[in-house]
Structures are given as C-alpha cells and as structure tokens.
Structure 1
Amino acid sequence: MEPEEGEESVIVISDNEGENDGETSVFIIEHSPEVAETSKEKSTEVVDEECGLAITYSKKGNVMPHARYDCVEQDFMRTENDISEPAGNNLNFCEQCYCYICDKPASECQYWKLPSICHCNAHNKSTYWKAHRDVALAGALSIFDFNLVEIDSELRHGGALLQKFWLELALEYNKYLMGIIMTRNHLIPCICVCHNQFKRLCEICQMNHVEIRLYSYTPVFNMVNKFMHQAEKEKPKSAAIMMIGVAKEILLHKQPPQEVFNKDDRTSTPKQAVPIFMQRLTNSLQRMLVLSDFPPYLFNKLKAFYKTLPFPSYCFAFTNSLNVLSWDDHFLTSILRGQNITGHRQKKGRKEMLWEELSVVQARVERMEAREEYRELVRYLRVIKCSDTLKLRILQDKVPFYFCKYGDFHSAAQSFHLSSSLSCCTACRLTPYQYVVYLKIFKTGTVPARCELSDEGRWTFVKGATSIRNCALLKCALRILFVNDILYRDIHCWTQLIQIHSSSCILGEEELQVPPPVFVKSTAVLAAAILEDLKNGIVGLPKAFSSVLQRESALILITVAAAQMLHKKLSVMNIVLPLIIAYGKNFWALKLLFDSLSVKEEVLHHFCALLSSNIRVYKSVLIDAFKCHDADYVSDLVTLFLSFKQATIQSVSIPVLNVLVEAWHEFKTKECLWTETLHSFLQNKVIPAMEMLNTAQFTELRNKINRLF
C-alpha cells in the first residue's frame, strides 16, 4: 500500500508472524530518510536479514490513550508498593498517559507525584496498586470485596450514598469527641442560698460552677437515624449496603475517658445509642436476606462482612444475628419438602435443631404466604424454634388455618390440639371470633381469599379439598370449647355451633325432622357420657351418631353440652336470647334444653328471668327472627312456652307476645296469609290459654291482643 504524501512510516510487520518464540512481531522503526525514500520508490527493502523483516508499509501511528505504565515514549519502572517518591522516570508522561488509579489524564491527577501517595508509580502487576484501584473505582463498596463485574447500578448507588454519609458522620463524631465546655450547674442547678440571694459563690456551691466538658452523642444518633430512614426507602441492595456500612462505622465509636453526659438522655452515649441502631439494623438486614432474593455472591458476602465487624462488649448479643440460612440451604429445604419432620439433624456428631431469630421467622412466613406455599409453611412452623416463644406461638397458632388454605380440613381439625391430653395448645388461645370463622370454614368448605382469618371479604373453594365429616366437626368444635374457658362461656360460640347443626336462615338449611321422644331421651342420656369422654380426650363417637338421624343426634349432643354449660356459667352471663333463636324451628331440641335446665329449679328460674329481660331489651333481635321465618314459627314458639307445666317457663311467653303486639304494624306489611295465621293463632290458642291461667299479666296482655282486632 502506498502511503499518502506527508505521512511518516513507523510500523514494520514481520512476514514470519507466529514463529518468533513469543517475541513481538511488531517493531517500531524510527523515522529515517532511507525509509521515506524506500516508501517513495514503492519497493520492498530488507532491513534485517537475520530476522527476515521487510517493510511493506509504514506511517507514523496515532498514539491512543493508555495507562502510564504502557507508555512507549516514556520509560516506566515497576515497583510493588513504592509511594514515598516517583520511581525512575515515572514522573514524566505523554499527552495520552492516564493515571491507573484515578482513570483521569495524568496531567489532571492531583496525587501524581504527591509523597505518600505517588500515583505515577501505579501499575497493573502490583497487588497493592490493583487493590488501591479497586477502592478508587468501587468507593465504599470496596470493603465488601466485590469484583467489579458484580457491582451493578443498585449497589453503586448505595455505595455512593454510604461514602457521602461516612464523611458527614466523621465530622459529627469528631464534634462529639471534642465535647462542649460549660459549668456544672447546667446539669445540676445550684440551690445554695449564697448563690441565689447574695449573687456570690461560697465554698459550698463553688464546685457547682466549675467548668466541665459535656459530651452528647445525640447529634450523631440523629444523623444516623436520618440516614437509616433514607436507607429504608431505597431498593433492597442499596439499603443492605447502606445499613451494614452504617454498622461498620458506629461499632467503632467509643466514649471519651471520664465522660460527663446527661443521664436522662438515652442516646447521649454510644453505649446507649449503638445497641438501639444494631437492633434495628439487624432486623432489617435479616428480613432483606429472606425476602429480597439476593444473588448468592451478595448474600454470602454480606454475611461474611458482618462477621468481621468489631463488636464492642455491649453489642455482643448481635454477633451472630446475620447467620440466616439461604432458601437453598440443605437443612432448610429438607424441612420444607417434608423430608425432615423433626427439625433436627446430626452435624459433626452433635444434634442441631432449626433455630432462627423472630424477624427471620416472620419474614419467612410472609414470603411463603405471598407465594401460597402453605404446605411448606406448616412444616416450617411445626419445627422452628425461636428465643421469643410467645410471638412465635402467635405465628404457630395459624397452622390450622394454613391446613385449611390448601384443603386439608381433617388435619386442620386435629392440629388444634397437641395431644389427646388436651394440654396447652392452639385451641386454648382461640378468640370467639376466630372460633366462629373456623366453624364457617369447616361447614362450608371454603376459606378466605386473603391470608387472614377473617369473615370479611371474598371466600373461595379450595381446589381438590375434601370437606370434613359432620362427626369430626362436632368433636373438634366441642373439644375446643372444653379446653378454652373464654369460648365455653361465650353464648355466641354456642349459637354458631347450634346454627350449623340445625335450621338456620343464615346457611339456608331446612329444619331437621322431629325424632321420636324415646330416641331423644335415650340419646340425651348417652350424650352425657360422650361429653365426659370428650372432656378427657377420648374422641370416639358411638354408631348412633352415624345413623340415619345423625344430624338430630348431633343437635341433641350439643343441646346437652349447652345445658351443662348453663348450669356452670349462667351466673356470669348477661345474654341468652341468641341461643334460643339459633334453634330455628327445631322446637323439639329447644324443649330438650328447657328440660335439661329443669333439673335445678334455681338455674331454670335464673335462665327464664334472663331470657325475659333479653327479650324486652333486645326486642329488635326477636323481631328479626320473626321476619326471618313465617307465622308458624311465632305460633310454635309461644306454644312451646305455654306447653310447659312450670309457670317460670310459661311466663317467658308474655314478653314474646308483647313484642309481637308492639310490632304488629310491621307484620301487616307481609302477605295477608301471614297476618291471618297469627290472628287465628292468637284468637284460638293464646287467649284461651290466658283465660285458663287467669293471672294479672296474662289478663293485661289479653286485653292488648283483643284491641288489635
């Protein structure tokens, strides 16, 4: 190739490239008239016969930007870590020389020849200078030993904020170490008479006016607190870098000797303030390691760096706080997959159990809930151990709910109790609201769409779920009541239990058939023995509860259990009306309840008096029940009360009829047949019965009824 006019030839390439034993095949030829002349003649001239080099084309090359140690114009002397002064000719540079550390032109490097730094000596073959370059490029991230390829924009952002904060924190911490000079009476006001009245200092109060140096770490605390708030708003990677970088600095903060500080301020010394931050930092970092899906290199390097932090004696409790298992840890995965159901393993001849900090447990629960990994969540909660047993127990009490979420209702019913001995278990801690929600779940076979045990919001069917049998539901519901005294004496829990086993306008079920009186009586006797077994942990039910009348048998068992509860707890109750309404049209079962209460006259009298009072106070509840059913319901209810021989039970019909009379105008809005039925019932049944009783109360009520027509 012919060179252009005015260009200078400088490059010579060997035509034996690849056969020179590793030596370079490119030689720089000094500009000479002979070369130029040769170029003009367009001839090939052998320059070195031994090397076999020939000039084929030559021109002066454009020198590209390069590191100082690669400069071809200025010699460079390599040293390992010489920073005292420029070595050899390293101080000199060409126009294209760059500083290896700063990544700036050598002419712009502020530390090019500065003693104790000397960037001019830097090169890529020195371990010292390579580490120095990594620090310069990575900034605060260099402390984590990242490779440059591992540093993404999120990490770099966190490192930049951390680097800036370190400089600001150093200034504020230095102010703390300097202290503030003031007199002692600023801390302890002087009460001496000489000082307050005569405005002079005596020997007694003179000590209160000497100058002291007061130290307050509170400004540092406030600065760190502000930065922590900022970190919590950043993305996970940035936040983790910022938080662990803060820990590195504040753990180095020390109190000056003979420090004087305000004892009323909880943040006036590092010893008081730093543990506060460490608790907050470790909790946040633990949650991020669980929830943020950090890549393995970042996960491991954060943990490794945390172990190198210099924990003072007052922070030793946080030394192992970041020993968080990754999601792919073999021990953890074996538990989540059901391969390890004990939560124990043998490691180096020692037995270990799965133990994690509360914040880690909470984060794992949160993540598995979000991913609907309910089977794994049950396995985890059944074996995990934690120092905060009370808060862990709150999480573990949701295990029955998680069983329900993936459709294993039978296991859910069993999980309320740890053992057949009915020792302290989840059932002991259920609230009345939770109990009612669980009954609805078991009865309908549906669960809340959200991961909250709440009756509100949308409910869904679980795909592939099998509903719990009525017998299993009955045993579970009663056993829970027997071990939980709060539920046992809560009338609404019994109301819900009765509703799901009898007619209910809520569930839209029809009333049960009326069983023969002999069957009711014999089953009631059997129910008493069954209830004793359930209370003692024996959970089997006789074949009678699997017969054709199993629903009726279940209602008899519940009624006998309710009567036993009323015998024990009636004195502490203030409402029983919902219990009566819960039976719906199953008046035969309601009659059994009154018969069971009649065993003790004082209990029956107290119950009827409380029921009558409830009807007068909560008349709207009874009116709603009337509207929910038909006119026959009202008639049959009043007839039931009047059919008893005991005057105490008969008297309950008076407040019921009073409510009916007072709300008569509301019932007129219903179909004509409804009003006619009630009219016929009152005229043909109630008024004759009142005439037979002939009491003052019934006489007054009879007059009210007659005025309606």
Structure 2
Amino acid sequence: MEPEEGDESVIVISDTEGENDGETSVFIVENSPEVADTSKEKSTEVIDEECGLAITYSKKGNVMPHARYDCVEQDFMRTENEISEPVGNNLNFCEQCYCYICDKPASECQYWKLPSICHCNAHNKSKYWKAHRDVALTGALSIFNFNLVDIDSELRHGGALLQKFWLELALEYNKYLMGIITTRNCLIPCMCICHKQFKMYCEMCQMNHVEIRLYSYTPVFNMVNNFLNQAEKEKSKAAGIMMMGVAKEIILHKQPPQEVFNKDDQTSSPRQAVPIFMHRITNSLQRMLVLSDLPPYLFNKLKAFYKTLTLPSCCFAFTNSLNVLSWEDPFLTSILRGQNITGHRQKKGRKEMLWEDFPVVQARVERMEAREEYRELVRYLRVIKCNDTVKLRGLQDKVPFYFCKYGDFHSAAQSFHVNSSLSCCTACRLTSYQYMVYLKILKTGTVPAGCELSDEGRWTFVKGTGTIKNCLLLKCALRILFVNQVLYRDAHSWSRLIQIHCNSFTLGEDVLPVPPPVFVKSTAVLAASILEDLKKGIVGLPKTFSSVLHRESALILVTVAAAQMLHKNLSVMNIVLPLIVAYGKNFWALKLLFDSLSVKEEVLHHFCAMLSNNIYVYKSMLIDAFKCHDADYVSDLVTLFLSFKQATIQSVSIPVLNVLVEAWHEFKTKECLWTQTLHSFLQNKVIPAMEMLNTAQFIELRNKINRLF
C-alpha cells in the first residue's frame, strides 16, 4: 500500500520482546539512488533480485521512541549483567532513546551511568536485566512472580503500600539492632550511697553502673501491628499480598547476641513477637482463602509463596498452615455433594482424611451458613478433623439444628446421640435454653429465621419431611435428659417437656381429656419399665403410645419420669414451681405427680415445703398463671391440694390462697364474672374446708378472706 501524499514517516517497530531473530526491532528502508524523486515519479520500481523485494515508494522516516538497545543512531553492545560501568558506546543515546528498566527517556534516568547499576547496559536479551525490569515495573509484587497481565489496580495498590512499608520497617529494624546504651542502674536501681556522698563507686556497687546495651523490639512490633490493621481494612487481593509481604520480612528478624530485654513483655523481642504475628497472619490468610472469591492464579500464588518462606524455629508450628483446599478441590466437593461420606481417600497408596485448621473450618461454616447450604454443612462437619477438637465439637453440636433448617427433623432427633449406647454426644452438652428451643422446633416444625439457635426473632415453617411423630419426640426428649445430668436436674427443662405434651407452649386453655383411673394406673406401672429401657438405650415404645389415648399416655410417661427425677435429685434443687404451672388445667396428671411422690413420705414433705417457699418467692409466676387461665383454674388448683388426705399436700393451698388474697386488686380488672366465681368458690368451698381443718394457719387465712367481702 502506498502512503498518502503528505505523510512524513514510515517505520516498522517490533511489537514483541525477545522473539526477534535479528539484533534490532526496527527495519529501516533508506532512500535508493535508483528511486526517482516522489514529486516527479511515484511509480518508479526498484527490484532487489537477491531478496525478492520490490520497492515502489520510499521516504526517510522520523525515528519513534525506542529502547536504547534498538537505537539506529548509536551503536549498542550487549552483555549479560555488566553493571560496574558503561560498556562500549552504550552511554550515548539519541533524543528518542528510552531506559529499558525505568521506562523513562534516557536523559531522565538517574541510574543511566551510575556505577553498580548502569541502566545504559540494559537490554531484553539478558535474564538479569529482564528480571530487573520486572522488579522495577511491579515493585513489591515481583516476589510473587505475577504475570503482568494479572496485575490489576487492587494488586498495584497493595504492592505500593507494601513497598513503602518495607522501607519504613527497615529503618525501624536497624534502630532496634543498634540498641540504646545505658547503665545497669536503669534496670536495677543502686541502693549504695557511696557515689552520692563520696563521688566514687565502691566494689559492691561498681557492677550496677557498668554500661550495657538495651534492645526493644516494641517500636517494630507497633509498626507491624499498625500495618496489619491497615491491611485488614483493604480489599482481599491487596490485603493478601500485604500480609504475605509482612511475613516475608519479619521471619528474617533476629535478636542481637546477648540481648537484654523484658521477658514479661511479648513485644520486646523478635522471638516472642514474630510467632504472634505469624499466628495472626496465617489465620487471616486462611479465612481469606475460604471466604474471598480470589481468582485461581492469586489463590495458588499465595499458597506457593508461603511454601517458599523459611520459617525460624519459633514458627515451625505454622509450617503448611496455608495448605487450604479450594472450593473446587475434587476431594472437598465429593464430600459436600454426599459422594464421600467417610472423609477418607486413597492417594498414592496412602489413606488420607479431610483435615483442616480450625480457622479454615470456621470460615467454611460461616460461608455455608450465609449461603444456606445446610445439607453440605452437615456432610462437612460429620467428617472433618481439626487441630482444635474442643472448638470443632462446638461447631459439630449444631448439626441437629442444620438438619432442622432444611426440614429433616427425623435425622435431627437422631443426631443428638452418636449411637444407641448414649456415649458422649451432642445431647450431653445441651444447655437448658437450647433444649427448650429444640423441643419447640421439633414440636412445631418451625425454625428460627437466622443461623442462631435462639427463641428470639422471627420463626419460619420449613419444607421437608414434616414434623416428627409425638412418639419419636417423646423418646428423643427423654433420652437427652437421661444423658445430660444438668438438664436432668433442671425444673425448667422438665416443665417445658410437660408443656409440649399438654400440647401447649404457653399457658393456654388446651386440656387433655381425663382418662379412666384404671388406664392412668396401668400406664404408670408400664412407664417405669419403659423408662428403664430408655436409660439403657432401648428406644421402642409399646402400642399404648400409638393408641387413641397416646397423648395421655405420653403425659403419664413424662410425669412418672419427673417423679423419678425428684426422688433422686430433690435435695440439690431449689425450684419446683415451674413443674406445677406447666400442667395447666390437666389436674389429673398433676395429681399423678403427687401420688408418685407420696411413695416416700420424706420426699413428699421436702417437695411440698420447697413448693410452698417457691410460691412466696416466685409469686409473680403463679399470678401470671392465674391471669392466663380462668377463675375455675384457681378453684380447681386449690381444690386439688385440699382433696388429698396428706396434711403436707393440703398445706400447699395456704401460700396459694395468700398470694391470691394479696393480689386480689389485680384480678378486679378482669371481668366481673371472674371475681364473682372466685368469691363464690372461697365462700362456699374454701372457708368450710378450713373450718374442718381448724389449724392456726387456716384460721388466719380465713380471716383474711373474710375481710375481702
């Protein structure tokens, strides 16, 4: 193609480095005497038969900016790594020559002819100069061997901050190595007065005034700590290289010989401070590799660079700390997808298990929770091994909750126990609050909206296998109590269990039909043997619990279990009132509880005494129960206590009526019918019953009641 008239230059410049076979990247076409002046004849043709080149047009071109080694005006001599002085004519340059290292005009390069640097000798055929150019272009990023196309603005920003930090750290570390000259007297005050009075040092105190050199790593520690704080605020790419760059520098810090430092201050020497920083850096990088969606090249570069670090003896514990599996790793994905349920694999003839540091495990749990990947989370936690078994166990204890989050309530109920032998498992570590929340989840088929096992906030229904049968819920709840001794002795846990089998989570009006006395008695006898089997791990229940009266059977079983617990643990308990309130208006089951306790007179006496005391101490609990029910509830409760032949149980009605009388003004706010019913009950049944008992306490209470009318 012929250039248009008015063009001033024609020049061909190589667009790649290191790929040209020739010595230059510019091919010059000079004017030929055989070519006529273009203004006179543009179609003149000159043919070079040897090269097979036909030139139909030529014009002297303007020289474009170029590297010094490509200059056509000044000769250039190539050497591999000569830096002591300029070679040959390399020092000279034309106006368009650029420094290969600095990417600046040669006239502006301050290292052009500087001995020991000599940028004028740089060229693209030398490995030394190419590496030097890469360092100049990428700065601190050169240690990671990035491809230039991979370096974006975020990485450049992190590299610039790291480069600046290295310079500042070097100055501060040099100050530390120089130390401060002082006397021993500054550390251990001299008590001798010889030098104060006689202006001389005696033999005893002379050693206290010898000059020593003190070293304090604390300023270096503070500088590194501040930089790490800054790194944690940056985006993931920049933060990663900043932290890795810090690790590269601090592992080289050493203590001077015979250093004197404060052993109680962990910031005063590298041997104490460096492990602290390495722990922080590795934990941060571990979490970053899991939580941040780093591009694969950066993910692998960080891991590879960490392996190249030569850790000092005080940091050997951090070896291989960054061997974090990517989310795309075949071993990990096979586990998350349920294809590998053991967490083991064969690799090169050796059996390997999925093992990760706890920060990595914790980060994976956080990410899968945030993405609501609960199935994958259960599979992961069931096979993962960790260096911190106690903390890992805390994460694994949430496996039943994760089952519930995706609607597999049946598996959730089974996952509280490792096996049927009731060995140490999640059930034995549940708190009373967690136990009550789980009972609500399994009973209602709803779960908290978030990822915390909490009764607060919004709850949602879950699509899944549906709620579990009451029979399975009963077995699960009782087995947890038998395993967990803290829950077994907790009245609130038993009260919640009683409530759910009264089919109520609040003090509502849900009342089970009163079963025949014969059925109650026979089921109570059967319940004792069932409970023994449950304690041994035998979890089958008779057909009685799937019959028409299965709800009543379940409440009888729970009541007998509660009575057994009270027989064994009443001496270590301090509250029993929640048990009474939990039954609501199911007084036939409450009567069974007292009948079961009356087998041992001392147990019944202790229980009634504690109950009476609780009514006065926690009277607000009883008043709330009165308000949640109708007046018949109060009447029936008092009637129940008075109906027993044992004076010990009858006496419990006294504190109940005292609380009622003291809070009478609160009940006047209810409907008139409510207070009229109580008024009629007290006049027609309670007062006559008290006249028959005729004890000092009943007489005093009767007088209080009479004053109400």
TM-score exceeds 0.5: yes
Q: Which moved more, 1:586-595 or 1:171-180?
A: 171-180
AA of the residue aligned to 2:380: Y
Structure 1 match to 2:29 = 28
Q: Is the Cα–Cα contact under 8 Å of residues 10 and 62 in structure 2 kept in the other structure?
A: no
AA of the residue aligned to 1:241: I
- Taking structure 1 as reference, are residues 41 and 392 closer, same or farther at Cα in structure 2, changes over 3 Å only? same
- Taking structure 1 as reference, are residues 505 and 657 closer, same or farther at Cα in structure 2, changes over 3 Å only? farther
CA displacement, residues 266-300 of structure 1 (integer Å, 9 cap, x when unaligned): 22221111111111111111111111111111111
Structure 2 match to 1:299 = 299
Structure 1 match to 2:44 = 45
Separation (CA, whole Å) in 2 of partners of 1:579 and 1:148: 73
**Cα displacement (A) at 1:191:** 2.7
CA displacement, residues 41-83 of structure 1 (integer Å, 9 cap, x when unaligned): 2254344553676654443323221112222222323333232
AA of the residue aligned to 2:37: T
AA of the residue aligned to 1:28: V
Q: Is the Cα–Cα contact under 8 Å of residues 2 and 42 in structure 1 kept in the other structure?
A: no
The yes-or-no answer on 1:224 pairing with 2:224 is yes
Q: Is the Cα–Cα contact under 8 Å of residues 179 and 215 in structure 1 kept in the other structure?
A: yes
Structure 1 match to 2:440 = 440
**Cα displacement (A) at 1:704:** 2.5
Separation (CA, whole Å) in 2 of partners of 1:574 and 1:250: 58
The yes-or-no answer on 1:159 pairing with 2:159 is yes
**Cα displacement (A) at 1:25:** 12
AA of the residue aligned to 1:501: H
CA displacement, residues 322-379 of structure 1 (integer Å, 9 cap, x when unaligned): 1111111111111111111111122222221111111111111111111111111111
SS in 1 for 2:281: helix
Percent identical among aligned pairs is: 85
Structure 2 match to 1:418 = 418
The yes-or-no answer on 1:466 pairing with 2:466 is yes
**Cα displacement (A) at 1:426:** 0.8
AA of the residue aligned to 2:163: Q
Q: Is the Cα–Cα contact under 8 Å of residues 38 and 45 in structure 1 kept in the other structure?
A: no
Structure 1 match to 2:524 = 524
Q: Is the Cα–Cα contact under 8 Å of residues 177 and 215 in structure 2 kept in the other structure?
A: yes
AA of the residue aligned to 1:99: C
Separation (CA, whole Å) in 2 of partners of 1:450 and 1:501: 27
CA displacement, residues 613-659 of structure 1 (integer Å, 9 cap, x when unaligned): 11122222211111111111111111111111111111111121222
AA of the residue aligned to 1:220: V
Structure 1 match to 2:560 = 560
**Cα displacement (A) at 1:496:** 0.6
SS in 2 for 1:613: helix
Separation (CA, whole Å) in 2 of partners of 1:604 and 1:501: 24
Q: Is the Cα–Cα contact under 8 Å of residues 286 and 322 in structure 2 kept in the other structure?
A: yes
SS in 1 for 2:411: helix
Q: Which moved more, 1:69-78 or 1:574-583?
A: 69-78
Q: Which runs of 5+ in 2 are unaligned?
A: 13-20
Separation (CA, whole Å) in 2 of partners of 1:2 and 1:505: 92
The yes-or-no answer on 1:365 pairing with 2:365 is yes
Q: Is the Cα–Cα contact under 8 Å of residues 427 and 483 in structure 2 kept in the other structure?
A: yes
Structure 1 match to 2:16 = none
Q: Is the Cα–Cα contact under 8 Å of residues 303 and 323 in structure 1 kept in the other structure?
A: yes
Structure 1 match to 2:616 = 616
Q: Is the Cα–Cα contact under 8 Å of residues 508 and 629 in structure 2 kept in the other structure?
A: no
Structure 1 match to 2:15 = none
**Cα displacement (A) at 1:536:** 1.0
**Cα displacement (A) at 1:598:** 0.3
AA of the residue aligned to 2:419: S
- Taking structure 1 as reference, are residues 675 and 24 closer, same or farther at Cα in structure 2, changes over 3 Å only? closer
AA of the residue aligned to 1:40: S
Q: Is the Cα–Cα contact under 8 Å of residues 214 and 259 in structure 1 kept in the other structure?
A: yes
Q: Is the Cα–Cα contact under 8 Å of residues 99 and 120 in structure 1 kept in the other structure?
A: yes
Structure 1 match to 2:234 = 234
Separation (CA, whole Å) in 1 of partners of 2:685 and 2:4: 130
The yes-or-no answer on 1:577 pairing with 2:577 is yes
Separation (CA, whole Å) in 2 of partners of 1:49 and 1:360: 71
Q: What's the Cα RMSD here?
A: 2.3
**Cα displacement (A) at 1:110:** 1.2
Q: Which runs of 5+ in 1 are unaligned?
A: 13-20
**Cα displacement (A) at 1:147:** 0.3
Structure 1 residues 84-99: aligned runs within 5 Å: 84-99=84-99
Structure 2 match to 1:149 = 149
**Cα displacement (A) at 1:196:** 5.7
Q: Is the Cα–Cα contact under 8 Å of residues 30 and 59 in structure 2 kept in the other structure?
A: no
Structure 1 residues 6-21: aligned runs within 5 Å: none
CA displacement, residues 459-509 of structure 1 (integer Å, 9 cap, x when unaligned): 111123411111111111111111111111111101111111115471756
- Taking structure 1 as reference, are residues 260 and 11 closer, same or farther at Cα in structure 2, changes over 3 Å only? closer
Q: Is the Cα–Cα contact under 8 Å of residues 290 and 360 in structure 2 kept in the other structure?
A: yes
Structure 1 residues 601-640: aligned runs within 5 Å: 601-640=601-640
Structure 2 match to 1:138 = 138
- Taking structure 1 as reference, are residues 43 and 529 closer, same or farther at Cα in structure 2, changes over 3 Å only? closer
The yes-or-no answer on 1:81 pairing with 2:77 is no
- Taking structure 1 as reference, are residues 296 and 285 closer, same or farther at Cα in structure 2, changes over 3 Å only? same
Structure 1 residues 325-474: aligned runs within 5 Å: 325-474=325-474
Structure 1 match to 2:263 = 263
SS in 2 for 1:228: helix
AA of the residue aligned to 2:566: L
Structure 1 residues 60-209: aligned runs within 5 Å: 60-195=60-195, 198-209=198-209
Structure 1 match to 2:496 = 496
Separation (CA, whole Å) in 1 of partners of 2:380 and 2:124: 51
- Taking structure 1 as reference, are residues 503 and 653 closer, same or farther at Cα in structure 2, changes over 3 Å only? farther
Q: Which moved more, 1:537-546 or 1:114-123?
A: 114-123
Q: Is the Cα–Cα contact under 8 Å of residues 30 and 60 in structure 2 kept in the other structure?
A: no
AA of the residue aligned to 2:672: C
SS in 2 for 1:500: helix
CA displacement, residues 101-120 of structure 1 (integer Å, 9 cap, x when unaligned): 10101111111122222212
Separation (CA, whole Å) in 2 of partners of 1:331 and 1:57: 66
Q: Which moved more, 1:71-80 or 1:269-278?
A: 71-80
- Taking structure 1 as reference, are residues 505 and 375 closer, same or farther at Cα in structure 2, changes over 3 Å only? closer
SS in 2 for 1:452: coil
Q: Which moved more, 1:545-554 or 1:22-31?
A: 22-31
**Cα displacement (A) at 1:399:** 0.9
How many aligned positions are there? 698
Structure 2 match to 1:690 = 690
SS in 2 for 1:28: coil
- Taking structure 1 as reference, are residues 354 and 24 closer, same or farther at Cα in structure 2, changes over 3 Å only? closer
TM-score of the superposition, structure 2-length normalised?
Answer: 0.94
SS in 1 for 2:593: helix
SS in 2 for 1:290: helix
- Taking structure 1 as reference, are residues 682 and 113 closer, same or farther at Cα in structure 2, changes over 3 Å only? same
AA of the residue aligned to 2:120: C
Structure 2 match to 1:246 = 246
TM-score of the superposition, structure 1-length normalised?
Answer: 0.94
Structure 2 match to 1:651 = 651
Q: Is the Cα–Cα contact under 8 Å of residues 9 and 57 in structure 1 kept in the other structure?
A: no
Structure 2 match to 1:670 = 670
- Taking structure 1 as reference, are residues 164 and 683 closer, same or farther at Cα in structure 2, changes over 3 Å only? same
Q: Is the Cα–Cα contact under 8 Å of residues 448 and 458 in structure 1 kept in the other structure?
A: yes
Structure 2 match to 1:17 = none
Q: Which moved more, 1:461-470 or 1:137-146?
A: 461-470
CA displacement, residues 380-421 of structure 1 (integer Å, 9 cap, x when unaligned): 111111121111111111111111111111111111111111
- Taking structure 1 as reference, are residues 4 and 648 closer, same or farther at Cα in structure 2, changes over 3 Å only? closer
CA displacement, residues 137-168 of structure 1 (integer Å, 9 cap, x when unaligned): 01000000100011111111111100000001
Structure 1 match to 2:483 = 483
Q: Is the Cα–Cα contact under 8 Å of residues 508 and 584 in structure 2 kept in the other structure?
A: no
- Taking structure 1 as reference, are residues 130 and 505 closer, same or farther at Cα in structure 2, changes over 3 Å only? closer
Separation (CA, whole Å) in 2 of partners of 1:348 and 1:52: 61
